[in-house]
Amino acid sequence: MLNMLTTMLWGGTLKGEERRHVGHEFKQVVDEVNDLMGKSNISDLLPFLAWFDLQGMELIASWLDRIFESTINERVKLDGAGSERDQQETQDFLQVQLQLRDRGDPKMPLTTTHIKALFMDIILVGTDTISATFEWAMTEMMKHPEIMKKVQEELETVVGKNNSVEEAHLPKLHYLNAVVKETLRLHPAALLLVPRRSSESCVVGGYTIPKGTLVFVNAWAIQRDPKVWENPLEFKPERFMRGTSKWDYSGNDFRYIPFGSGRRTCAGIGIVVMMLPYFLASFVHLFE
């Protein structure tokens, strides 16, 4: 997953040994960040301690910043050396972002810092979350062999027994997509989503939330709420097959928000929606 993301972000910017070295560094830093995210952070409870960076997040951030900076500089160097035609043929996400930055839209200026922040979001959030959700989906299907069998039968019908899963098959795999949605309902990758901060003082459910309060949204609890979901602890993909087209990933229905909602919706929804069903379909179709 990490290899696929970095290929999508900056394609062939890095070559050979340099690419392997950066990939190894990324693997290390992603593992460290995920480890830290699973631990309590005393600075969340006592903000005045944040300055001391007790968990070492500043060190990790500077590490990532150095990798992104060198990759961006390498891409700028390549673009300067290549012809316009070559640049058009090898466009990747980084190249598009640099073109937007250089264009200098006064209404929405894009800086190198913005690009690095976006890369950090996509890489840190897009690797372990997808692999963990994949594991949960496989675990649930192994616990429920009848569900696994339905997925296999759908794959044989849509894909064919001796064929490989292709991107074009994914929209036709309705039951498999329902399995993915049900996995994300019971096991959202970010249980408390991304923290918010209230921009104004407001009253929610009778509670006063002062301006500047750090707010966590408990998606895990919302998506298991018995007032909303019938038999909420039961793994039942069929609940997403019965005229429930509204249960998409957009976050417009606050009962189902595995990727959050609003302006801070997960930036990688498109990657997850495409790659997770593809990995799952390929794995189940190829192996018993």
Binding residues: 266
Strand 202-204, strand 196-197: pairing: unpaired
- Positive or negative: CA dihedral 127, 132, 138, 140: negative
Q: Is residue 72 within 8 Å of 98, Cβ to Cβ?
A: yes
Shortest CA distance to 283 belongs to which of 82, 131, 92?
131
- How does DSSP assign 160-177, residue by residue? -TTS---GGGGGG-HHHH
Q: In whole angstroms, give the CA distance from residue 147 to residue 63.
A: 44
| Eight-class DSSP state of 252 | -
Contacts of 5 (CB under 8 A, 6+ apart): 122, 123, 126, 127, 271
> Which parts are annotated binding residues for heme?
266
Residue type, 279: F
Distances (CA, A) of 155 to 136, 170, 197, 273, 280: 20, 10, 44, 18, 11
> Given the structure tokens 């997953």, which residue do they identify?
1
First and final CA of the chain: distance in angstroms? 22
What six digits make up the tokens of 59?
A: 């060190």
Nearest of 280, 278, 275 to residue 126 by alpha carbon:
275
